[in-house]
Amino acid sequence: MTDMTYPDRHHKERGVISGMMIAVIALSVLVLGLGSFGIWAYVSYSDASSDLDDKIAVAVAKAREAKGEEDEAKFAEREKQPLKVFSAPADYCGLTFQYSKKWSAYESEQITNGGDYLAYLNPDVVPPISNSQQFALRVIIEQKDYDDVTANYDGLVQKGDLKQSSTSSEGKSGMRLTGNFSKNIRGDAVIYRCRDKTITIRTDADVFKSDFETLIRTIDFNA
């Protein structure tokens, strides 16, 4: 009877050992799995954190750049103040408008016995006068009828080189032209009727467009 119990005991011991081995193996697999997951999670977090840091750095750099450009633009506008007042002769409609103190003005000729009044404005120095030269502003007061002056641009409007619209300043209405006036001249112009004369004020380059928009809001003359 005693001999019959030993196999059962050994069998049970083997069963217990096998169960423990399975548990140990399972636990080892779980630990390895958790370790692998932890490593993956850490690497993913590090990559995401690094990517986020890069995005934040780029956003901060862009914000600083935008702020710098905004401050520079504000400084440039302050530098134009106070504005100067342009005045044409009284018998040439008494035209006035305000323009940047950084600009110089040049009257191409003195009006003594009638004729057209011509003036040119440009930052710092007014370059030599020519039809192809770009100026920040041209002022032309012609002894011509308004309809005759505006008719000169009909061909360019029909070709699509110029866009025509209406404009007004101080209650005075006129025509506005925007686009290519010639091969070298692309800008904006406003044209007004002044009794037997016609006023044309034009900028010759888009770089002066902001100044032009500010300037034309101050135009006044004796209609």
Q: What is the mean pLDDT of the chain?
A: 83
pLDDT band for position 59 (cuts 50, 70, 90): confident
Q: Check residue 108 and give its pLDDT.
A: 79
Q: Has residue 1 got a pLDDT over 80?
A: no
Which pLDDT tens digit goes with each residue over 98-147?
999 999 999 976 666 678 999 999 999 999 999 899 999 999 999 999 99
C-alpha 190 chain-centroid distance: 24
Task: List, in order, residues 6 or more apart from 223 with CB less than 8 Å away.
Answer: 93, 172, 193, 194, 195
Q: What is the pTM of this model?
A: 0.64
Least confident of 80-84, 105-109, 122-126, 203-207: 80-84
Q: Check residue 72 and give its pLDDT.
A: 56
pLDDT band for position 209 (cuts 50, 70, 90): very high
Which pLDDT tens digit goes with each residue over 157-170?
999 999 999 999 88
pLDDT band for position 2 (cuts 50, 70, 90): very low
